[in-house]
Structures are given as structure tokens and as C-alpha cells.
Amino acid sequence: MTTSRFATIDGGVTAPKGFRAAGVACGIKPSGKLDLSLLVSDGAASAAGVFTTNLAKAAPVLLSQAHLERSGGRARAMVINSGCANACTGADGVAHAKLMAEFASQAVGCDPSEVLVASTGVIGVKLDIEKVRRGVSDAAAHLSPRGGADAARAIMTTDPFPKESAVEVAAGAGTFRVGGMAKGSGMIEPLMATMLGGVTTDVRVAPALLQRALKAAVDDTFNAITVDGECSTNDCVFALANGASGVELTDADFSLLVDSLKAACEPLAIGIVRGGEGATKLVTVTVTGAASAEDARRTARAIANSPLVKTAVHGGDPNWGRLIAVAGRAGSAFSLDRAVVRIGPITLFASGTPHDDRAPQAADYLQGKEIDLEVDLGTGGGGRSRMWTCDLSAEYVRINADYRT
């Protein structure tokens, strides 16, 4: 059995050895805020990506998928712009995504197929490629091993704060690091990843193994969050592994690699929900007693996406009936006579019987900022799943009603 120790460290995507990054303002955002991020591995790196399941994929998503296939899972750089999604923009969008990769490849000194491209912002708006060209040149001139923080800020849109993480892993094979950054605040039910995410590590690992591990890590982190049940056209998460630590992981270390990626990705995923548009509460939904893990996951997602549940949490209303109703219609095996509903530590429904005398305690609990909801489906099975979501407020409506105007 492999033993390991995870320690939280600073530095984000540039915490692992051999990575440099920069975030610059190139004028895509009218506000003048940082809007272009460039991340570079000093040496060749294995690369992996997980992408949106939305059929209306943005040009950068299609290009990055093609680059990973063409390069055999190798990359040297990620270039990401915010303020414009470059989605649903026709032939111009495809051409502009390719030009982004070419600008970065020229700055880094690699083949365009070794550049991963991502964009975020308003759908259907043409990207000003001349601004991008100047931005990539500026970012390349400011690349630094301490540039992770600016890179994380440059990918933000409506995010209220940047999201970074990094861990140092002490394992039998040696010590290595994993870093990450992510953005996302609205249109969050990725069904694969987050709006945008980048993960780096200085461990050496084959591309195919990195791809499998990233997918497994994403399933329990970025794929276990929802803000509003909306799957974006641009969702993607990339991973680069450059081997600069001198530590190599093989198939025998798969669990260690997955756990290491999850250690960096989980705080990013939770940060997305905590900073969800209009959010005032972080909500953890746990489903137990399911006939299968898939049943548990399906029900947890249904609860986390329920507007009735989310508005009840926002209003501090311990309405356990909404949780029971969602559990019963989620499409998973369910036994009402043996089901249990808890809000925080307070059991409000069990074995077919309400405990409404405990509602005042639950209402007090719901005044907090971090809320736990738990439903046992009563099947006696061992299926279990956890998702993170947030409350639904009037502020979410205001932000999205005004998003384009």
C-alpha cells in the first residue's frame, strides 16, 4: 500500500518546478482588468484534457481536443483569454483559436499543436485577435515562476475572487508538487470539468496515464459541483506534467496520482461554488443508502440542482419535504418508509415519520454560511455520493439578466 502526505503550499500553477506564468490586460475586457493568461512548461510535458459534453462546443475546445490528439498528449503551453468565449462565431472563431495557438507557439518556441487554448466570456461575440496577439507577446515577456496569481486573475469573468491551489506530495517515490487554477461562477454544471481549469505537476507520467487520472479526479471534484445546472460551451480542464521533480509515476501509482490531482482540484471546485453568482451559502449534499454509486450520484445532482431546495436554503426554511420530493423523483431506487433526511446534525424525517418539532433548530442551523444536507435513500445499499452547490438568490437573477447589457 502506497503511503503519502499532502501539504498545502502557495504558488498555484507555478508551484511545481519548471512552470512559468503571466496574466496581462490586453483590452478584451472593457474594464481594463487582466484578461489573458499564459502558462508555460520549460520542458516538454505530458498533457491531458477533459472537455464539455455540450454539443455546441466553442472553437477553442475543438482545437484543444485536436491538438491533444495530434501531439500524442504532449504540450508546452496553455493560453487562455477571458471576456470573450469565442463560441458560436463560425469560421472566424476557428481561425482565431488557431491564431491564439500560433502566437503562443512562436513566443514559447514549440509547435502550435503543443499549445492548449481556452476562452471564456460572452457567447457569440467575435474575439479581437489583434488584442490577443499583443497580449500573448506581453505575457511572454512577463513569464515568471511567481506568475501563478496573475494567471489565475486573468481568467476570471464574474468570479468574485481568484481560485488557486497547490500541494506538495511526499510519497515513497519522492516529493513532487501539483498546482491549479480555475474560474467559474455561473453556467456551472460541467458534466466533465469546470468553466476553465488548469492543473500542473512536476511529476513524470505517461500521457495516457495522466488522461485517465485527470478524468478520475475530475469526476469527484469539478464534476461534483453545480451552481445553476447549466453546462457551458467552453468547459475544459487541462493538465500538464513535466517531470521536473525527477519523480516518475507508473500504472502501479494510479491511485496516488488521482489522489494528488484531487488534492489540488477539490479546493478549486469548492471555490467555484462558494463564489457562485449571487451565492451566500456553500451547500454540501450527501446521499447515502443508495442501491448503487450511480443512483447516489444521480440523486445528489438532482438535489443540488433543485431551485426549490436552493431557495429554501437561501431563505433559511428547513423544508425537508423538498428534499424527499427530489429524492423520490430522481430516478433512483428509493424507499420512503426507510428514508432519512438531515439538515446539518438535525434529523427532520426518518422511517416515514416527520420530526417537525426540530424545525426551529434546523432553521437556526440554516443561518450559517456552510450547510450540510443529507438524504439516506433507504434501500440498504452502500451507494454514496457527494456534491457541492450553493443557494439561489435574487442576486443570481440580477447578474444573469444584465450579463450582456
pLDDT tens-digit map of 278-296: 789 999 999 999 999 999 9
Q: Following CA atoms 249, 256, 64, 191 in sequence, which dihedral angle do they give, to the nearest 10 degrees?
A: 160
The closest alpha carbon to 276, from 310, 303, 319, belongs to 310
- The pLDDT score that the predictor gives to residue 30 is 93
Paired residues of 23 in beta bridges? 37
The H or E element containing residue 309 is helix 307-315
Domain covering 282-401, topology: Ubiquitin-like (UB roll) (3.10.20)
> What's the whole-number mean pLDDT along residues 297-325?
96
Q: Following CA atoms 218, 219, 222, 227 in sequence, which dihedral angle do they give, to the nearest 10 degrees?
A: 170
- Sequence-ordered strand ranges (E) for 162-314: 163-171, 174-183, 196-201, 236-241, 282-290
- The pLDDT score that the predictor gives to residue 404 is 61
Answering whether pTM is above 0.95, one says: no
pLDDT band at 98 (very low <50, low <70, confident <90, very high): very high
The H or E element containing residue 256 is helix 254-274
Residue 1 clears pLDDT 60, i.e. is over it: no
Q: Which residues of 239-259 are buried (b: 16+ CB within 10 A; e: fewer)?
A: bbbbbbbebebeeebbebbbb
How does pLDDT run across 210-244, given as a tens digit for each residue?
999 999 999 999 988 887 766 678 889 999 999 99
3-class SS string, 119-158: EECCCCCCCCHHHHHHHHHHHHHCCECCCHHHHHHHCCCC
- Sequence-ordered strand ranges (E) for 295-382: 340-343, 346-350, 353-354, 370-376
Question: How do 115-120 and 163-171 pair as beta strands?
Answer: unpaired
Catalytic residues: 194
How far apart are the C-alpha atoms of 341 and 223, rounded to whole Å?
24
Paired residues of 24 in beta bridges? 36
- The pLDDT score that the predictor gives to residue 193 is 43
CATH 3.60.70.12 domain extents, the chain:
4-274
Residue 396 clears pLDDT 80, i.e. is over it: no
Residue 397 clears pLDDT 80, i.e. is over it: no
The H or E element containing residue 64 is helix 59-71
Question: Which CATH number applies to 4-274?
Answer: 3.60.70.12
In this structure, how many other beta carbons lie within 10 angstroms of the beta carbon of residue 42? 15
CATH 3.10.20.340 domain extents, the chain:
282-401
How far apart are the C-alpha atoms of 223 and 189, rounded to whole Å?
7
**228 vs 52, which has greater pLDDT?**
52
Sign of CA dihedral 210, 211, 216, 218: positive
Cα angle 267, 273, 279 (rounded to 5 degrees) comes to 140
Which letter does DSSP use for residue 251 in this model?
G
Q: Following CA atoms 235, 203, 173, 259 in sequence, which dihedral angle do they give, to the nearest 10 degrees?
A: -10
